[in-house]
Amino acid sequence: MSGNNQEQAWKDICAMYQQDGVSERLLQWQHQRDLDVVRMLLAVWLYTHEQAVSPLTEECRQLYQTVIKPWRQIRTGVREMSAFKGFYRRLLQLELQLERAYFDELWRVVSISPDREEDASLSLLLNRLGCNDVLSALELEWLIQQGYSIKEKEG
C-alpha cells in the first residue's frame, strides 16, 4: 500500500469514528474477524509510535486516541473476565494470524537482531508493539506453543 493510499485510509477511519462509537465498532470488527481492519489498526499504531517510519501527524494522533487505545482497553478488559477466556484466546489467535500476514513490514520496522533467542525476540517485538502490559508471561508461552516464532527473513 503506497503512502498516499495509507494516509487516505487513515483519514477514512477517522471520518468513520466521528460517526460511530469506538467500542461498538471495534467489537463488531472483532466479531467479524476482519483481518484487514486489524491490519490497518496495526499500521496506524506503527505509524504513531515509530519515528523511523514517519513524523507524527495530527490525524494519526487522533487515530491513536480513538482507535488503538480503546482497542487495547477492550483486549485487557476481556482478558480479566473469566467468562470471556475463549473470546480472549480467539483474539490472540486473530493477532497471531495478523502478525504472520504482516511480518515483513514488522521486521522492517522493528529490526529484530537474528542472533537473539527466539523468546527474547518475541518479547522484544511485543514490547515494541506496546503489548507488554497486555500479555503476561504465560500468554507469551502460550503464543510460542501455538507456533509463533520469529526467524530471520530469508533472501
| pLDDT by position in tens, the chain (length 155) | 444 554 555 455 545 444 444 444 444 544 444 444 444 455 444 444 443 334 444 544 555 565 555 555 655 555 555 555 555 555 555 555 544 544 434 344 333 344 444 444 444 554 554 444 334 444 444 445 555 443 333 33
Angstrom distance (rounded) from CA 7 to CA 90? 30
Sign of CA dihedral 108, 66, 10, 37: positive
Tallying the residues shown for the chain, one arrives at 155
Domain limits, the chain: 3-145
Per DSSP, helices labelled H in 33-136 are: 35-49, 58-63, 69-80, 85-101, 103-110, 118-128
Q: 149: Cβ–Cβ under 8 A, 6 or more apart, which residues? A: 118, 122
Q: Which long-range contacts (CB under 8 A, 24 or more apart) does 138-146 make?
A: 139/92, 142/92, 143/92, 143/96, 144/118, 144/119, 146/93, 146/96
Amino acid in position 116: R
- Asked if 64 contacts 48 with a C-beta cutoff of 8 angstroms, the reply is yes
C-alpha cell at 13: 477511519
pTM: 0.23
